[in-house]
Amino acid sequence: MDFLIDRDKLIKKLEILIRENPNVPLFRTLKYHLQLQDSSLKINGVLSKIIIDNQEINSSIGKEITEFENHYKNIANLIESKELKNLIEYLVKKKISINFVGKAWSENVSTWVYFNTILNLSKIRKKLSLSENIIEHKNTDPRSGLEAGFIDKITNEGVMGNLKII
């Protein structure tokens, strides 16, 4: 699933509903708030709240928007790798904030999740029993970003933290 593609599909459905129901301002409100969410990190529950607060909404579009919001609110849903999903869930439970989710650079086609912490790679590997398929990655180039974390060799997805500079 791709956040922006799924969001844009919902926006198109809302545009149709706006044309068909020009006197229902709710659809314009939903479209406006959906357009503001250009990243899964911006999902904050506002769409579901609007839907719950307005009983007159078409139940089909309301259900789709709520499902969209619930799906993308959980960052682990954006990753295919089961081991990296477990790592993300582990870090989220520890209340570590996420800096970025998406394609980390132009040539990368897989999703990477960046956490605002220094990851202890050896402790995490042992604690979560990460397989050989999950490799350690370190980038020490200050121009492209100092990072350390894990990459899944099959999916090329990554979970990164900050690199500790000694």
CA distances from 113 to 9, 10, 164 (A): 24, 24, 18
Residue ranges per structural domain of the chain? 3-73, 79-162
Is the model's pLDDT at 1 over the cut of 70? no
pLDDT band at 57 (very low <50, low <70, confident <90, very high): low
For 103-161, the pLDDT digits (tens) are 877 777 889 999 999 999 999 999 999 999 999 999 888 777 789 999 999 999 999 99
- Single pTM value for the model: 0.75
The token duo for 141 is 């180039």
